[in-house]
Amino acid sequence: MTRRLRRSRKADLDRLDLTDLALRAADGDVGSEHAFVRRTMDDVWRFCAHTLGAEAADDALQATYIRALASLHRFRGDSSAKTWLIGVARNTCYDEMRSRGRRDRILTKVANQPLDTTTEPEATVDYDDALGCLAAERREAFVLTQVLGFTYEEAAE
């Protein structure tokens, strides 16, 4: 395939919505698979980073796509591909949290920190610590709606 034809095919794939790309990738279209990953990777990484922390996001991103691409043949298009993929990322992140006991460490960390009663304007809350104190379901809802821009209906799926 010539370089010009490849660019034309890539441009055509970039015009498809994510669900169509996922369905084409499920049928074995490698170009659609690459386009699907390319167009969703940033959102999946941000979700993983807000759920697990930036230091674990790259590994979670990789594990998410390994799982998603292996099970893409089961994606039927009943919901949006982005919603389905974030569900895979959620399960990947929760598995990671369970395996390393993250919840226990966060609770221990918060319990051992003195309560800061400062009312100075300079007193700030660390964003990651604040997110880490939320229950997993609330943290997920916050990240989906406020960081990734999902509608409340999409986040509820």
- In tens, the pLDDT along 1-42 reads 555 545 555 656 667 889 999 999 999 999 999 999 999 999
Q: Which of 31-35, 111-115, 134-138 has the lowest mean pLDDT?
A: 111-115
Q: Per the domain annotation, does 105 fall within a domain?
A: yes
Tell me how far apart the alpha carbons of residues 138 and 145 are, in angstroms, rounded to a whole number.
11
Q: What is the chain's mean pLDDT, rounded?
A: 82
Q: Per the domain annotation, does 1 fall within a domain?
A: no
Q: Per the domain annotation, does 122 fall within a domain?
A: yes
Rounded average pLDDT over 130-155: 83
Total domain count, the chain = 1
First-to-last alpha carbon distance for the chain, in angstroms, is 40
What was the pLDDT predicted at 98? 83
- State the residue range of the domain holding 15: 9-156
What was the pLDDT predicted at 93? 94
> Are the C-beta atoms of residues 97 and 104 closer than 8 Å to each other?
no
pTM for the model: 0.64
